[in-house]
Amino acid sequence: PKCKWSLDKKDASCPVPHTFNPPRKAVSHCSVLPSVLDAYGHTPLIQLNKIAKSEGIECELLAKCEFMNPGGSIKDRIAVRMIEEAERSGAIKPGDTLIEPTSGNTGIGLALVAAVKGYRLILVMLDKNSLEKDVVLKALGAEIIRVPAAPFGTSDHYISIAHRLQREIPNSFIFDQYKNPWNAIAHYDTTGEEILEQTGGNVDMVVIGAGTCGTLTGVARKIKERQPNCKVVAVDPYGSILASPPELNDGPIKSYLVEGIGKKFFPAGMDRTITDKWYKMHDKDGFLYARKLINDEGLLCGGSSGSALAGAIKAIKDFNFGKGQRCVVILPDSIRNYMSRFVNDDWMIDKGFLELPAKLTTQWWWN
């Protein structure tokens, strides 16, 4: 059907239900959980005290700590949901082969579920994504195909390669998170719902990095439904084309180092009408703010978290947010993916993002 990926409430032919009941079993995190598949979500919302102070921010600045999911990222939410919905519809069963194009975190989420449920998993990833992700994926038993970047729509693009594999491998299934409606719905049902619960509905701005735009679309829809005046702010790296108005994307379409956000095409599942303001972000700003989240707040997050925070700081100033207002910024993944990258002083210096080592050096003692 034409509305296959649409969540438009007015579209009566849409097969996706519009009032979603969280499909999760009522499990308490204080008790024994049936498996790790019940351990995703319910991530903490933590105040950023030192950063707010050093930036002269008077509103409450809160971080939604998605790096605390079992696989280390926000994508665990969609991995569980996409697999369980495909099982429910009869499209897949344990023993089948699952295939997905991913920048890594959806892959890790899917690998975790595949390991527990007994699926073979093949992931198609760009060569630019960190090798740390490979290590985790291999430990979980996933097979990885690394490919160089190619223009969207060509046969060498990583999404096209994933679709080609699916056609060639018997009993295989591709989720295609860029189109899959359960991506945004997972965030509508869980991430957005949790932010409303944790803030008691008192939230004036949410700031979200955009990749597949599943987080942005799902969280924004849930929050705007209950708090229509809440600002939704999205962050996109320079070199990507997602931001709007389109003039913001002026400048070369180029590669960038931050992982998980930005695209050179518009994902089919993206709602382009729901964002109040977009910010473009340089790699350097994102990485330096990610290091601040780690160093000042003890939040062991990844690079796109820094980009989102940098966007939040700009938005708080542009919207003149002050006392009594509340901004939530989503920190999508964990430091674990980037131990040899922005967390490492030598890498930062090599890329021109840092002039001098920022950290204490290790001292070794021998007898």
Binding site for ligand PMP (CB under 6 A): 73, 75, 103, 105, 209-216, 259-261, 302, 304, 332-333
Which DSSP letter does residue 121 get? E
Catalytic residue among 4, 25, 75, 222: 75
CA 32/CA 141 separation, integer angstroms: 26
Which DSSP letter does residue 191 get? I
Specify the residue, 75 or 291, whose C-beta has the smaller distance to ligand PMP: 75
CB of 55 to ligand PMP, least distance (A): 22
CB of 326 to ligand PMP, least distance (A): 22
CB count, 10 Å around CB of 184? 30
CB of 213 to ligand PMP, least distance (A): 5
Query: Looking at the DSSP assignment, which residues form a beta bridge with residue 130?
Result: none
Which DSSP letter does residue 154 get? S
* Alpha helices, DSSP H, located in the chain: 49-54, 75-88, 105-117, 131-139, 158-168, 181-186, 192-199, 214-226, 283-297, 303-318, 345-350
CA 126/CA 72 separation, integer angstroms: 20
Tell me if the bond preceding 245 is cis, omega within 30° of 0: yes
Structure tokens at 190: 């869980």
Q: Which long-range contacts (CB under 8 A, 24 or more apart) does 154-159 make?
A: 158/101, 158/124, 158/125, 158/126, 159/101, 159/124
Specify the residue, 74 or 230, whose C-beta has the smaller distance to ligand PMP: 74
CB count, 10 Å around CB of 152? 14
Specify the residue, 130 or 325, whose C-beta has the smaller distance to ligand PMP: 130
CB of 291 to ligand PMP, least distance (A): 15
CA 65/CA 331 separation, integer angstroms: 5
Which residue has the closest beta carbon to ligand PMP?
260
Specify the residue, 41 or 209, whose C-beta has the smaller distance to ligand PMP: 209
Specify the residue, 59 or 206, whose C-beta has the smaller distance to ligand PMP: 206
CB of 94 to ligand PMP, least distance (A): 26
Specify the residue, 59 or 211, whose C-beta has the smaller distance to ligand PMP: 211
CB of 66 to ligand PMP, least distance (A): 8
**Does the annotation mark 75 as catalytic?**
yes
Residue that has been written with the tokens 């007994």 in this structure: 118
Containing H/E element for 326?
A: strand 326-331
Residues serving a catalytic function are 75
